[in-house]
Amino acid sequence: MADLNGIKRRLREYDGEPLTIMEVCGTHTAAISENGIADMLSPKIRLVSGPGCPVCVTVASYIDRLLELAMQPAMTVVTFGDMLRVRGSEKSLRDVTAEGASVRMIYSPFEILKLAEAEPDRTFVFAAVGFETTTPVYALMVEQLIQRNIKNVKLLTALKTMPGAIRAVAADGTAVTGFLAPGHVSVITGHRLFENMAKELGMPFVTAGFEGADLLCAVYALTRLRGGRSLNMYPSVVTYDGNKAAQDIVNKYFEPCDGAWRGMGIIPRSGMKLKDEYAKYDAGSAGLTEDRLYNGACACGDVISGRKSPNECPMFGKGCTPDTPQGACMVSMEGSCFHYYINKRK
Amino acid sequence: MKITMAHGSGGRSTSRLIDEVFRSANANPILDMMEDSAVVDGAAKIAVTTDSFVVTPLFFKGGDIGRLAVCGTVNDLLMRGAVPKYITSAYIIEEGADFETLSKIAQSMAETAKEAGVTVIAGDTKVVEGNGGIYINTTGVGFVYDGADIRSANCKAGDAIIVSGTLGDHHAAILSERMGIENNIKSDCAPLCDMVRNMMDAGVEIHAMRDVTRGGLGTVLNEFSKASGCRFELDEDSIPINPEVAGFNKILGLNVMHMGNEGKLVGIIAPRDAERALKIIRNSRYGTAAEIIGTVTDGEGVVMNTHVGGRRAIIELYGEGLPRIC
């Protein structure tokens, strides 16, 4: 049995077939950068970031719709911080705030309930983006709206689920040979989902935690697993079946729909929308599929789907930096470009 | 009672404000003369610095804008090897501010000045339209130790990098107040006179020194790197951080290397004096958690050697940081 030092040595000295391992989750991208893991691996093991940053995969027409809503009288757009600086086809929420739009940044989605109760004549629209991890929170929010009879909160949804995007990456003539399955998503879905995906795609999946040692062990496992094998290396919080209560409340209020992914196009059944009977809580999310890069030179699509490293984008570090982001991947704290830039990851 | 525009008129209301709030807190023979300028003793070499304080909220766990306005300026003087002597205090007050709030701030400022051993020798008060905000500018004068030459360009390969305590406390405290999060995190806002004077008196060879304020340690070390043409190698495991701040950062995605502090210094110390300096700092007020966190080497940039044995670059603060932190 290898200890951590043994694993580190084997990863450094790995001389088998070249591997390209995709970390699907934005928080994994952050942890890999912060721990300096990429530099600890043999040149034959390449890590690439995947489509797991919710802000990064949001299309321009969704942002444009948020801006429209924010400019309307008696309406406030409420969002997490990452979304403020992402541009739609032209402007960001931050830009229109300076022009008089009403935008509030909050840290917990439940703060919106307080805002709404304090100002009943104003409509609050929540920018509901996220994956399997975040959707249960929005479902709880809708449940609260119903229970507390709050009528002035609506959701503009661009919710997504991972399997469709992972299939798209795997089908795309990619070099990816295996996946670090998203740890937080797995908490909700259970490891079973990724066990099934491994079998379906004939590629190894390892569900991993977020500490440096977790990631090293998971990458090591991916150097040993072949074909459709999978492993849950985050069993302290990821069960086989996942969080049933979270799955149930999501299924109560939401249903699958086609999802529009920035730079990747429309992927069937990779989105979630409010069920028809709860449509009165929707702020007009349907049909927001059109995508347009603010800066045509950005390689966002290639970066999000793992075909290019962030530093292979012609804009990276030249005009596109965290201070002057051209694409969402450089804005978000889960964005791959952002992390490659701040930690000078190679 | 509220401050009104009349308190800024220059007439009787202004005199009353100055007498009741500022002079009563800071009585000393120089201020009491109420002349147009202060005439004071000098030294062969003096250090001068000025800083404006716009922090919100005005009161936070571990300090307030008054204490901050003294600490920020006093610490800037100390970082060049100067003993802080004099400080000025200029207030810009928005109408609607509370008389009582102002008195508390002036009192806190006076107490901190006393702790830091500086005399308030000049002051000014202006009232502007607004919504009760209070802003303070302080200018400080310090007498430089004979022969002291402490500056960023002096860092040399082999030097030790010492921080005087846990990082991120002020930033996390301010953010907690603003977000209404209840925790035990306190600002580290403090004057660092004691630890710097103890090092200077003991003849520690300090090559460069900064208080680690806005922009955080990552920004300071990048500035050192650019000024000196050296690389700064850090050891992640030895960077002191209060566990509660570490947890707070994890939840909010903050990086301690870019968080502001108001009572922490980073010293670049000649290798033969490193252990001695560490001991002196640890035995000084506000320095018990000091650590040697890395070494200056040949090369460029700032590199973190991570807990698991990886390496990552640390760049200067990017994006907007946290506004109105000091």
- Could you read off the pLDDT of A187-238 as tens digits, one per residue? 999 999 999 999 999 999 999 999 999 999 999 999 999 999 999 999 999 9
Q: Give residue B52's pLDDT.
A: 97
- Contact present, B205 and B147 (Cβ < 8 Å): no
* Beta strands, E only, A200-262: 205-207, 230-232, 254-261
Is B122 in the same domain as B157? no
- Residue among B252, B307, B319 minimizing CB distance to A323: B319
Interhelix angle B169-179/B243-252, nearest 10 degrees = 60
Is B137 in the same domain as B269? no
- Residue among B179, B312, B318 minimizing CB distance to A323: B318
Candidates A11, A35, A92, partner chain B, best to mutate (most B CBs within 10 A)? A35
Compute the Cα dihedral for A317, A342, A205, B250 and give only its sign.
Answer: negative
DSSP element (H, E) containing B123: strand B119-128
- Contact present, B95 and B127 (Cβ < 8 Å): yes
Question: What is the Rg, in whole angstroms, of the alpha carbon atoms belonging to chain B?
Answer: 20
- Contact present, A126 and A79 (Cβ < 8 Å): yes
Amino acid making up residue A106: I
Is B139 in the same domain as B171? no
Q: Give residue B309's pLDDT.
A: 96
Backbone angles phi and psi of B140, in degrees to 5: -120, 150
B306 and A33 within 8 Å at the Cβ level: the answer is: no
Three-state SS at B318:
coil
DSSP element (H, E) containing B141: strand B134-144
Q: How close are the terminal C-alpha atoms of chain A, in Å? A: 31
Question: What is the Rg, in whole angstroms, of the alpha carbon atoms belonging to chain A?
Answer: 20
B308 and A342 within 8 Å at the Cβ level: the answer is: no
Is B109 in the same domain as B206? no
Calculate the alpha carbon distances from B323 to A116, A311, B209, B320 in Å.
Answer: 27, 30, 24, 7
Q: What integer is the mean pLDDT of B135-146?
A: 98
Domain of B190, in residue numbers: 152-313
Is B192 in the same domain as B230? yes
Q: Provide the mean pLDDT of chain B.
A: 95
Is B68 in the same domain as B209? no
**Does residue B319 lie in a domain region?**
no
Residue in B with minimal Cα distance to A325? B319
- Contact present, B311 and A39 (Cβ < 8 Å): yes
Structure tokens at A7: 């694993």
A&B contacts, CB < 8 Å: 55
Determine the length of chain A. Answer: 346
Nearest-Cα distance to chain A for B322, in Å, is 12
Structure tokens at A135: 């959707």
Q: Give residue B71's pLDDT.
A: 98
Is B186 in the same domain as B280? yes
Q: What integer is the mean pLDDT of B7-19?
A: 89
- Contact present, A272 and A250 (Cβ < 8 Å): yes
**Does residue B318 lie in a domain region?**
no
Q: What integer is the mean pLDDT of B83-88?
A: 98
Secondary structure letter of residue A38 according to DSSP: G
The residue assigned the tokens 């075909």 is A307
% of chain B with per-residue pLDDT over 90: 87
Tell me the pTM: 0.90
Is B86 in the same domain as B156? no
Residue-wise pLDDT for B56-77, tens only, equals 999 999 999 999 999 999 999 9
Residues ≥6 apart with Cβ < 8 Å to A205: A178, A179, A181, A194, A195, A197, A198, A230, A231
Between β-strands B134-144 and A230-232, what pairing exists: parallel, antiparallel or unpaired?
A: unpaired
Is B159 in the same domain as B140? no
**Does residue B156 lie in a domain region?**
yes
Domain A4-54+164-232 fold is Rossmann fold (3.40.50)
Is B192 in the same domain as B309? yes
Between β-strands B265-269 and B160-163, what pairing exists: parallel, antiparallel or unpaired?
A: antiparallel
Residue A329 CA to residue B58 CA, distance in Å, equals 36
Residue A113 CA to residue A74 CA, distance in Å, equals 16
Backbone angles phi and psi of B311, in degrees to 5: -135, 140
**Does residue B322 lie in a domain region?**
no
Domain CATH code at residue B162: 3.90.650.10
Nearest to B258 by CA among B224, B213, B313, B218: B218
Structure tokens at B237: 């495991």
Residue A259 CA to residue A280 CA, distance in Å, equals 21
Residue-wise pLDDT for B216-226, tens only, equals 999 999 999 99
Chain A residues whose C-beta sits inside 8 Å of any chain B C-beta? 4, 8, 30, 33-40, 107, 212-213, 216, 321-323, 333, 341-345
Calculate the alpha carbon distances from B152 to A175, A190, B229, B269 in Å.
Answer: 47, 53, 10, 12
- Is residue A177's pLDDT more than 90? yes
Is B116 in the same domain as B206? no
**Does residue B132 lie in a domain region?**
yes
Residue A275 CA to residue A26 CA, distance in Å, equals 28
Chain A residues whose CB is inside 8 A of the B310 CB are: 35-40, 212
Three-state SS at B53:
strand
Structure tokens at B80: 């060049």
Chain B residues whose CB is inside 8 A of the A12 CB are: none
Calculate the alpha carbon distances from A27 to A32, A52, A55, B58 in Å.
Answer: 9, 8, 13, 35
Q: What integer is the mean pLDDT of A12-19?
A: 96
- Contact present, A219 and A268 (Cβ < 8 Å): no
Domain boundary among B113, B144, B175: B144
Is the pLDDT higher at A298 or at B92? B92
Residue B179 CA to residue B182 CA, distance in Å, equals 9
Q: What integer is the mean pLDDT of A303-311?
A: 89
Domain CATH code at residue B46: 3.30.1330.10
- Is residue B215's pLDDT more than 90? yes
- Is residue A1's pLDDT more than 70? no
Residues ≥6 apart with Cβ < 8 Å to A108: none
Beta bridge partners of A282: A155
Per the structure, the count of domains in chain B is 2
- Is residue B186's pLDDT more than 80? yes
Q: Could you state, in order of their start, the residue ranges of all structural domains in chain A?
A: 4-54+164-232
- Contact present, B67 and B24 (Cβ < 8 Å): no
Chain B residues whose CB is inside 8 A of the A34 CB are: 306, 312
- Contact present, A20 and A46 (Cβ < 8 Å): yes
% of chain A with per-residue pLDDT over 90: 80
**Does residue B324 lie in a domain region?**
no
Three-state SS at B296:
strand
Q: What integer is the mean pLDDT of B17-41?
A: 90
Confidence of residue A108 (pLDDT cuts 50, 70, 90): confident
Cβ neighbours around A284 below 10 Å, total = 13
Q: What integer is the mean pLDDT of B26-36?
A: 89
A212 and B315 within 8 Å at the Cβ level: the answer is: no
- The shares of helix, strand and coil residues in chain B, as percent rounded to the nearest 5, are 35, 25, 40
Is B167 in the same domain as B307? yes
